[in-house]
């Protein structure tokens, strides 16, 4: 595992309250961890809504984080933590595939290590299990 990458993730965790982009970046990593390392944009947004709902954020706070998503994506891509690419996704409700962003990380084990003890993630996992 790349120790410098781990240090950068931990640094981002420490700075998450400094800006909405940092907070959104951490939330993207949490969502990808819950989704086992890859997610279509629509699935990622659903998971982010669940995370934000579990945190009981106001609509204004959710809007602020949503507005910071592109900056957060850029930060995570520059760190080498995630890849985002446009791909066609099959949709059974339509006659053709739709173009959508696919978010992936090759660092799932690192995310498990760094975010493994997060109580918020534990609550969300419990909710997902029903």
User: What are the residue ranges spanned by the domains of the chain?
Assistant: 3-116
Query: Two tokens at 10?
Result: 């931990």
> Collapsing DSSP states into helix, strand and coil, what is residue 84?
strand
Rounded to whole angstroms, the Cα distance separating 31 from 19 reads 19
Give 83's strand partners: 104
Give 88's strand partners: 99
**CATH tag, 3-116:** 1.10.10
Model pTM? 0.93
Residue range 25-74, pLDDT digits in tens = 999 999 999 999 999 999 999 999 999 999 999 999 999 999 999 999 99
């Amino acid at each position: 595992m790349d120790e410098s990458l781990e240090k950068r993730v931990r640094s981002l965790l420490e700075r998450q309250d400094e800006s909405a982009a940092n907070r959104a970046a951490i939330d993207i990593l949490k969502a990808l961890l819950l989704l086992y390392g890859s997610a279509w944009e629509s699935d990622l947004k659903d998971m982010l809504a669940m995370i934000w709902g579990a945190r009981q954020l106001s609509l204004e706070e959710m809007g602020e984080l949503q507005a910071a998503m592109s900056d957060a994506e850029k930060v995570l891509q520059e760190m080498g933590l995630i890849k985002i690419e446009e791909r066609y996704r099959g949709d059974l409700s339509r006659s053709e595939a739709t173009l959508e962003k696919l978010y992936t990380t090759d660092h799932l084990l690192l995310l498990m290590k760094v975010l493994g003890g997060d109580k918020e993630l534990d609550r969300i996992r419990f909710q997902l299990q029903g």
